[in-house]
Structure formats: C-alpha cells, structure tokens
Amino acid sequence: MRYMMRAALLLAAVSALVSAPAAQAPSSATTAVHARQVKRLLIRNAMVIPGPAVPPSGPIDILLEDGLIARMGSSAGGRWPSADATIDATGKYVMPGIVNTHMHWHEERVGPLPIQYERDLYLAAGVTTAREVGGDFEKTKQWRAESAAHKIVAPRIVHYPMLANLVKPGETFNASPAEHRALVRQAKERGADGIKLIGPMDRDQVAATLDEARKVGLPTTVHVAVGEATARDFVDLGVNCIEHFYGVADAALDGIQDFPPEMNYANEIHRFGRAGELYTQKNLNPEKLSKLLDDMVAKHVAWSPTMSTYEAARDLIRAQNLPWYKELLHPSLEEYYKPSMTRHGTFWTGWTATQEVRWRKNYQVWMAAVREFALKGGIVTTGDDAGYLYGSLYGFGISRELELHEEAGFHPLEVLQHATSNGAKVIGMEDRLGRVRVGFIADLLVINGNPIENLRVMNPYGTDRMSYNGQIIDNYSGIVKPGDPNVKSVHGGGIEWTIKDGIPYHVPALVAEVKDLVAKGRGERTRTTSPQQ
Ligand SMILES: [Zn+2]
C-alpha cells in the first residue's frame, strides 16, 4: 500500500484552492479503526457532495450514530455527543456510497476465486450496495444476511436471481409460461428481492414472468437478447429496468439486424462481434428509438447500461494491459480472460481493428441514446458486470463506468447521481439510501480528492496528479508557467474510507488484503503447474 500511504501524506489538502503548506499535513489524524463497528463516528471538516447532482458544500462535520447519519453541521462548541472514533476529512470529499446495479459474485465461475477478493475490491471502489443479477441462490441469500448483520466485510447485497438459478443443478426448466410463473413464485417464497430475466425470450414467456412478478410484488430487470421479445415487449409488458444495450436498438430497427448468413448465435465471436454493429444498422429509425425512450420514461423503466463491461471490444490492447493487473489481478481471472472459444465473453481470438472501429461507433450511438433517455427524465444507473470480459475487474469496472458516463455527455455530478441516488431508487431504497442527509443510512465515501474535478480519483489504484511545491493543484491552474520547476507529477487520489452502515473500512487495508490474496493465488498456481521435481 505504498502509493496509498504516499497519497495520504501528500493529499492532506487536495482542493485546488486550499493552500495549507504540506509540512502541516496531518499524516495520521484519524482515530477510526478499520472494519470496527462504532456507536458514534465523527467525520470532521469534509467537503460534502450531498447526492442527486447537487454541487459540493463545506466544510461540514457529519456525526454517524448506530449506522445512520445523525447530525450534519459544525461539531464545535461541545453541543454534539462525543464520538467513539473520528475521521479527519480535511481537504477530502465525502459522497454517498455507490450502488452497483449489475454484478455477480464468482467463486467458481471464473475458476476458484476467494470471495473476499471481490468483496474487498468492490468496497475499495466505493461500492456499498451490490445488486446481484444472477448467481448461486442460496449462497447469495446467506451472504446478504451476513452482510446485513456485519458478520462479513462486504457491500450490502440485493438479490435478483435469474429463474435458472432456482432450478436444481443439472436440471433444466421447461419453456412454458406456466413454469415461468411457478419459478417466480418460488423466488418470492425463497426470499429474492427481485427477478433478473435473460433473453432470448419469447413474448408469451415475458408476459407470464412479468405478470407473475407483479402479482407477488417482485421488481424485475432484464438482459434482453436477440430473440422474439425486444425492449419494446419488455417495456410494454412492465419490466422495471433494462441492463446493457441489447434489445433497445433492436426495438428501433425498421425490420431486423442485417445478420450475415454464417451468423451463429452460440459462437461468442459472432454474438459479440455483431452486437457491436447493432446501433449503427442502416435501418435504425431514430424516431422509433426516441419513442421507445419516451415510453421507458413514462413507465419508469430504468436503464443500467454497464458501459464499462464491453470496453475491451473497442480497445482490446488497453484492456489487456491495465497497470493494476501487476499486483491486483487474481491468476484465476487472468486465466479466464484469455481468448477462448468456450468461455463466456472471451471472444478475442483473431479480434480485428475493424471490429474495434465498429464497436467504437456503436458506443457513440448507444451513449447518445443513454443521454437522450436521461434528458427525457429517465433513470440511469451504474453497473459493472465484472469478471467476464478483459478489463472489467471487480470494483475497477465501476470506477471506469463513471468515466464512461462522463464520456456519454453527463456532468460528473450527474454521473455521481447515477451511481448513488438513482441506484437507490432502482432498488427501492431512495427514502433512506443514496444521499448524505440526516436520517439516511450512513453509507459514505471519504475521497482523497475532488471527484467533480477528476472522476479518476475514485479508482482504487489512484491516479497521477499535478503537485506544485508539494501541494496538489488543478493542472489548468494559472500559477503554473511552462517549464516551472516546482511542478511534479505525483500519484494520489483513491478512496480513503468506504463507510457502510456506519462501519468504516480503510481502503488501503482492503487493497493490501487483495494483494495478499493475489500473491497467495499466484503461489498456489505456480505449485500446481510446475513440473514435479
Ligand atoms: Zn451480468
């Protein structure tokens, strides 16, 4: 955690306007303890980003009590109850914890992976709530309870199984609408928070599933695929949220996508290669697309686009060479990412420059559609769907997702709204989660830097910043003249504390644990793959 310690020392005053000399920087001014449940936790002197696209204000003190935000204002004067622990947030920014609306826990799916590796990385990236949209039903149910009881170090878990997750291993469910209904009822009885539908689906299956979910009171989200039902059907039949990008453009085509004769949907190269041509189809009708977006808004259908998931498809070499792989990429995942003809999302064999160009153009139209949807009043959220495609690593995926939302045309404050209060709305917790507000759940991030100035400070690896005489400054600052010898590039940023239910998790400690798990995994792999002596 060398870089984080350096960051803590260097970034005592991170705002471009704060001018405290670095020599006075508090190096260990916190008394909070990693992962310890305290009755009263005081955060002192923070710049606060309160929630839905509202600019920061401060400095503000925040008192957390029994996991809730109890007081905000000034703790000076001795009128506030005394705190059991304190975080000095001088020069730091505080915002609500992130709701990741699309993720999966992997223990076996990508090869053996310690579950704590994923939990730590998500917390390190500021994810305090994780909506799992398909996984091992009983495991997730158990982890949801353990997280709620603070028995494990993990984000809060919201459990949206796929219907296939309810069927016993090795069994398959028949395609009838009646069985879809039966499985929805079973999900309700077994304690699901919602249902994740996944295409390709026929319209009668969609109708039955959504109707039954409505009857039993389970919210729904869908990964639309290329099937009979497009986003038009899901929206008309009452789904609550759409994942990814599939299905939305399909519903706006005059006719269907121009698939070539060799198209084989079971071949991941065909499936992902052609998916990257969806939004640039010649028969995409912008009026039809706008009408669909209007109807989504009118029917309160949210959109969780997961832009970071597919980024390797538009820039494979970038995704294969991210600097945090060196110490933080678990060998099971490293192995999973490699090109293959069998593993989901590893369609890189022979990947071409032309395919990347098409994906880039696909992103442009897709991003414009997401922006148009939000401008019409639609709810956009952030999800990472990490652990399948190169580059999409737990936690890092959500950090990158924020950057891509900015690329789609959103102000960083709007991006943070997507990640916080919009996410809370989609999981039905907007009355108590996703804002820095008295009475709300104390899910908060204490950040080494201003995310409005640079969303990349949210990345668990941190980022390079401009230092002037030892102080971090905005690199547009007028005080800097070309050739100025006082300017240095330093590594900084990162979230310092991720607070969930009032419990502070020190991100450098989480990242250190991840490094240990990776080193251990690499050691085991070396032992098992080396020839016997
Ligand atoms: Zn997914």
In angstroms, rounded to a whole number, what is the distance separating the alpha carbons of residues 253 and 256?
Answer: 6
Q: How far is the CA of 156 from the centre of ligand 1 (A)?
A: 18
Residue 93 has pLDDT above 80, yes or no: yes
Q: How far is the CA of 466 from the centre of ligand 1 (A)?
A: 37
pLDDT per residue over 19-29, tens digit each?
333 333 333 44
Residue 75 has pLDDT above 50, yes or no: yes
Handedness of CA 306, 107, 122, 84 (dihedral sign): positive
Q: How far is the CA of 275 from the centre of ligand 1 (A)?
A: 16
Q: What is the pLDDT of residue 171?
A: 87
Edge-to-edge strand order for the sheet containing 487-492? 471-473, 463-468, 487-492
Q: How far is the CA of 80 from the centre of ligand 1 (A)?
A: 45
Average of per-residue pLDDT across 288-300:
98
Cβ atoms 37, 503 nearer than 8 A: yes
Residue 371 has pLDDT above 60, yes or no: yes
Tokens standing for residue 41: 């936790």
Cβ atoms 43, 90 nearer than 8 A: no
Q: How far is the CA of 34 from the centre of ligand 1 (A)?
A: 31
pLDDT per residue over 129-149, tens digit each?
999 999 999 999 999 999 999
Q: What is the pLDDT of residue 531?
A: 52
DSSP, collapsed to helix, strand or coil, labels residue 329 as: coil
Cβ neighbours for 256, distance < 8 A, ≥ 6 positions apart: 250
Report residue 64's pLDDT band, with 50, 70 and 90 as the boundaries.
Answer: very high
Q: How far is the CA of 241 from the centre of ligand 1 (A)?
A: 13
Q: How far is the CA of 239 from the centre of ligand 1 (A)?
A: 17
Report residue 8's pLDDT band, with 50, 70 and 90 as the boundaries.
Answer: very low
In angstroms, rounded to a whole number, what is the distance separating the alpha carbons of residues 272 and 282?
Answer: 19
Q: How far is the CA of 30 from the centre of ligand 1 (A)?
A: 38
Residue 384: φ, ψ to 5°: -120, -25
Q: How far is the CA of 345 from the centre of ligand 1 (A)?
A: 11
Q: How far is the CA of 387 from the centre of ligand 1 (A)?
A: 9
Q: What is the pLDDT of residue 51?
A: 85
In angstroms, rounded to a whole number, what is the distance separating the alpha carbons of residues 392 and 384?
Answer: 7
**Helices (H) then strands (E): counts for the chain:** 16, 18
Neighbours of ion ligand 1 (CB under 5 A): 385
Residue 7 has pLDDT above 50, yes or no: no
Q: How far is the CA of 133 from the centre of ligand 1 (A)?
A: 6
Q: How far is the CA of 222 from the centre of ligand 1 (A)?
A: 10
Residue 223: φ, ψ to 5°: -100, 100
Average of per-residue pLDDT across 366-379:
98
Q: How far is the CA of 88 from the centre of ligand 1 (A)?
A: 38
Average of per-residue pLDDT across 164-191:
93
Q: Which amino acid is at 306?
A: T
Q: How far is the CA of 329 from the centre of ligand 1 (A)?
A: 20
In angstroms, rounded to a whole number, what is the distance separating the alpha carbons of residues 385 and 5?
Answer: 30
Cβ neighbours for 84, distance < 8 A, ≥ 6 positions apart: 38, 39, 40, 41
Q: How far is CA 372 from CA 160, 275, 293, 407, 458, in A?
A: 27, 21, 8, 14, 26
Report residue 30's pLDDT band, with 50, 70 and 90 as the boundaries.
Answer: low
Q: What is the pLDDT of residue 529?
A: 65
Q: How far is the CA of 525 from the centre of ligand 1 (A)?
A: 27
Q: How far is the CA of 315 from the centre of ligand 1 (A)?
A: 20
261-283 in b/e form (b: 16+ CB < 10 A) is eeeeeeebbbbbbbbbbbbbbee
Q: What is the pLDDT of residue 181?
A: 97
Cβ neighbours for 45, distance < 8 A, ≥ 6 positions apart: 58, 59, 60, 61, 88, 89, 90
pLDDT per residue over 408-422, tens digit each?
999 999 999 999 999
Q: How far is the CA of 389 from the centre of ligand 1 (A)?
A: 11
